Amino acid sequence: MSAVESILNVDDYDPGRYARTKVLRLAGFSVLEARTGEETLRIAAEHRPTLILLDVNLPDMSGFEVCRRLRESPETSAATIVHFSASSIQSHHLVSGLEGGADTYLVEPVDPSVLVATIHAFLRARRAEEALRRSNAELEWFAHRAAHDLKEPLRTIAIQAELLKQDLKGSVEPGIQTSLQFVMDAAQRMASLIDGLLCFARVNYGGNAAEVDGEALFAEVCESLQGAIRDSGARITHGKLPIIVAEPGLEEVFQNLIANAIKYRREHIPPQIHVSAQAEAGSWRFSIQDNGIGIEPGPHREAIFKIFTRLHGQSIPGSGIGLALARKIVETQGGRIWVESEPGAGSTFHFTIPKDARSLRK
């Protein structure tokens, strides 16, 4: 068993703690012990056990309080916490334990084989989560690095092509000037793709949740899109938008969806866009409805949420990053994003943000 997978066995009742430690050691775990809340906090900070088996009833403080303090401290917040207590437990205790940050709650007496199997299951899930987190971090680093390193030579290509074009002005056949212009346009397009990639790689939301006023957010987004709104003659209406508590990034989601609703409009038909919000069980559903060109049904409709997937060719400018970015932001918060569409009539993009009982304006 590796040193990182040590278990802290916390119980003030000596025979119980002794028996549990014995079972865990026999199963191959490295086991530390604590008898009180204070001892638990100290040993956990010092040894950083992977998993803490935490009795709810301790002499100096409740196990719930210990759990809360373990979660608050950066040194111990990542530990898996398994509460246990006697069979006289009431369900509201169970709920308090889980809501207070415990990963599960076992009720004594627990069969030794069940205890070991439960710990194995938690450690398996934890290893998978850590591997995923590492691989995500590596991918983000790679994308960030690649995008940065590509920008420099690209800038040189763009500058040199521009200089060459100016030097050769009037002295060469127009075909060469046109070719140079192609090089410059391609360099510019690639620069904007790299910027998008950088932006996508940088999005590592999941930061602190804060209050977001839907009405204010909508006004800000409309303000930043006012050029496109004016040029297209778009009419944007909205229903009542709630104040919610959400993690960073919602503004970008609205911005991308409304910008697309303007961009993918039908010829000679000014965009009519309606933004609305609806309370559902456990989440808020936001919808952005347009009267644009729509999207044909089929697998590619789902694929538009993947990075660099574009359906409508180069005649409408874009980098294929906006919806991937929106999906990353929404899914990081535990939400979902999808589209309903009728080709030639319009699309409605929906996304959800979990309420988590945190919504302020009903």
Give the nearest residue (CB) to ligand ADP. Answer: 318
Q: Residue 207: CB partners within 8 Å, gap ≥ 6?
A: 247, 248
Looking at beta carbons only, is 119 or 321 nearer to ligand ADP?
321
Asked if 283 and 359 count as a contact pair (C-beta separation under 8 A), the reply is no
Q: By C-alpha distance, which of 359, 358, 341 is closest to 349?
A: 341
| Count of residues of this chain found to bind ligand ADP when the rule CB under 6 A is applied | 22
> How far apart are alpha carbons 43 and 29 in whole angstroms?
17
- In the list 67, 180, 275, 304, the residue contacting ligand ADP (rule: CB under 6 A) is 304
- In the list 312, 345, 358, 361, the residue contacting ligand ADP (rule: CB under 6 A) is 312
- Quote the tokens at residue 297: 């049904």
Burial of residue 138 (number of CB atoms within 10 Å: 0-12, 13-18, 19+):
exposed
Residue 295 in contact with ligand ADP, rule: CB under 6 A = yes
Minimum distance, C-beta of residue 250 to ligand ADP, in the bound complex (Å): 16
- Quote the tokens at residue 310: 């574009």
Place of tokens 């297209």: 232
- In the list 248, 320, 334, 354, the residue contacting ligand ADP (rule: CB under 6 A) is 320
Looking at beta carbons only, is 80 or 256 nearer to ligand ADP?
256
- In the list 39, 292, 328, 352, the residue contacting ligand ADP (rule: CB under 6 A) is 292
Minimum distance, C-beta of residue 238 to ligand ADP, in the bound complex (Å): 16
> How far apart are alpha carbons 228 and 84 in whole angstroms?
59
Backbone φ and ψ for 333, nearest 5 degrees, come out as -90, 5
Residue 287 in contact with ligand ADP, rule: CB under 6 A = no
Residue 221 in contact with ligand ADP, rule: CB under 6 A = no
Binding footprint of ligand ADP on the chain (CB under 6 A)? 256, 260-261, 264, 290, 292-295, 304, 309-312, 318-324, 347
